[in-house]
């Protein structure tokens, strides 16, 4: 099958899973009820549709950012958490919850402030350094610092209900997200995705090494700025609205490399589609789990991602023995 055919097949899969996300849940809403006088269509319009749109957008940016970071860092185990933006956005949201800042809007704003602060610190720490190693070290510092401050805020929180809300939010979920949550995030997700999508040619050149990329006219400083800004906007907005959802940026590029090849630019659009499909499918399964409540999306992704990488590790060890 040609590359175009594969992309069409993936887009069809995303469309199918989007429809499943509208229908699936504790109350099934068949397609016949979506456009009729059936009262269940309100469930679709007010609850399922914003959740499906958010799952589509969040999955796409997580898959895309994972593919970009793996190409930029030339490390197949890199993911959005490595740059510290997700943990910094989480820190901002946790601070808003612990100190009771103005509900959902305040939480979203504080999370984006955390992501913006992480972007500024990344830019400052990597100033005049175009090396990916400096980028990794700066991200590690940010992630460690943000994680430590988050744990500190949880430990000093005076309200046990706030602690419970923080822990619930850190697990990541699309539960109870409406249009008021979706609409502020979409412009930021779109702007960040546009920045990441234009990095394909530079990432291809970077596979030959930094010196070779410079000789081909690639401005590594500009590439680093696009990666920092694009990752900050996409991951910051996604964490701000859903909490921390891991493993998507790690798993999806690995799954798609055998299908679309190892060239970084060839993986960007497929990874966005693959991430959308993975999150939509996982979120539908979370709603169908037995019991009165839903499994959190972040927990479900960890249950999917950890066995995947264990299998990958075992396969690599087996290949080394052979």
Domain coordinates of the chain in residue numbers?
Answer: 3-321
The pLDDT value recorded for residue 280 is: 94
Over residues 215-229, mean pLDDT? 87
Poorest-pLDDT segment among 47-51, 131-135, 160-164: 131-135
The secondary structure of 189-208 as a DSSP string is HHHHHHHHHTTHHHHHHHTT
Eight-state DSSP code of residue 109:
H
pLDDT-derived band of residue 198, with 50, 70 and 90 as boundaries?
very high
CA atoms within 13 A on the CB side of 55: 31
The secondary structure of 154-196 as a DSSP string is HHH-S-HHHHHHHHHHHT---TT--HHHHHHHHHHHHHHHHHH
The pLDDT value recorded for residue 314 is: 79
Over residues 193-206, mean pLDDT? 93
CATH class of 3-321: mainly alpha
The pLDDT value recorded for residue 293 is: 75
Over residues 5-18, mean pLDDT? 94
Top-confidence residue, 302 or 321:
302
281 has a pLDDT exceeding 80? yes
Is residue 173 within 8 Å of 297, Cβ to Cβ? yes
pLDDT-derived band of residue 131, with 50, 70 and 90 as boundaries?
low
Is residue 243 within 8 Å of 111, Cβ to Cβ? no
Is residue 25 within 8 Å of 286, Cβ to Cβ? no
The pLDDT value recorded for residue 129 is: 65
The pLDDT value recorded for residue 130 is: 60
53 has a pLDDT exceeding 90? yes
Residue 173: closest CA among 71, 88, 243: 243
Compute the radius of gyration of the chain from its Cα atoms.
20
pLDDT in tens, 159-196: 888 888 888 888 888 888 888 889 999 999 999 999 99
Question: How high is the mean pLDDT of the chain?
Answer: 85
246 has a pLDDT exceeding 90? no
15 has a pLDDT exceeding 90? yes
CA geometry: angle at 228 spanning 223 and 229, to 5°?
100
* 91-95, 162-166, 301-305: which is most confident: 91-95
Top-confidence residue, 290 or 263:
263
Residue 118 C-alpha from the chain's centroid:
16
How many angstroms separate the Cα of 202 from the Cα of each of 100, 207, 209? 44, 9, 11
Distance CA(169)–CA(98), nearest Å, equals: 12
User: What are 202's two structure tokens?
Assistant: 């530079």
Is residue 250 within 8 Å of 66, Cβ to Cβ? yes
User: What are 163's two structure tokens?
Assistant: 């602690």
Is residue 244 within 8 Å of 86, Cβ to Cβ? yes
Residue 54: closest CA among 297, 301, 304: 297
């Amino acid at each position: 099958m040609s590359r175009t055919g594969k992309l069409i097949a993936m887009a069809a899969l995303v469309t199918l899973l989007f429809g499943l996300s509208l229908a699936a849940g504790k109350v099934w809403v068949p397609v016949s009820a979506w456009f009729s006088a059936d009262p269940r269509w309100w469930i679709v319009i007010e609850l399922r549709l914003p959740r499906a749109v958010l799952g589509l957008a969040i999955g796409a940016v997580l898959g895309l950012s994972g593919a970009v970071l793996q190409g930029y860092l030339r490390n197949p185990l890199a993911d959005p958490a490595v740059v510290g933006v997700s943990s910094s956005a989480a820190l901002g949201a946790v601070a808003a919850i612990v100190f009771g800042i103005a509900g959902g809007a305040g939480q979203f704003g504080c999370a984006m402030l955390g992501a913006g602060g992480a972007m500024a610190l990344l830019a400052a720490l990597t100033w005049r350094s175009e090396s990916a190693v400096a980028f990794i070290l700066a991200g590690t510092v940010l992630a460690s610092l943000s994680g430590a401050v988050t744990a500190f805020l949880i430990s000093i929180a005076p309200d046990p209900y706030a602690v419970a809300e923080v822990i619930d939010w850190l697990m990541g979920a699309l539960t109870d997200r409406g249009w008021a949550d979706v609409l502020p995030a979409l412009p930021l997700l779109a702007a960040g995705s546009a920045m990441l999508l234009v990095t394909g040619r530079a990432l291809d050149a970077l596979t030959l090494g930094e010196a070779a990329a410079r000789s081909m006219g690639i401005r590594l400083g500009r590439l680093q700025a696009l990666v920092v800004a694009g990752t900050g906007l996409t991951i910051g907005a996604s964490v701000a609205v859903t909490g921390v959802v891991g493993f998507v940026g790690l798993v999806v590029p690995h799954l798609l490399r055998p299908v679309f090849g190892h060239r970084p630019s060839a993986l960007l659009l497929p990874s966005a589609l693959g991430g959308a499909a993975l999150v939509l499918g996982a979120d539908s399964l979370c709603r169908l789990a037995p019991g009165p409540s839903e499994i959190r999306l972040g927990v479900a992704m960890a249950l999917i991602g950890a066995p995947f990488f264990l299998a990958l590790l075992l396969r690599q060890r087996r290949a080394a023995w052979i």
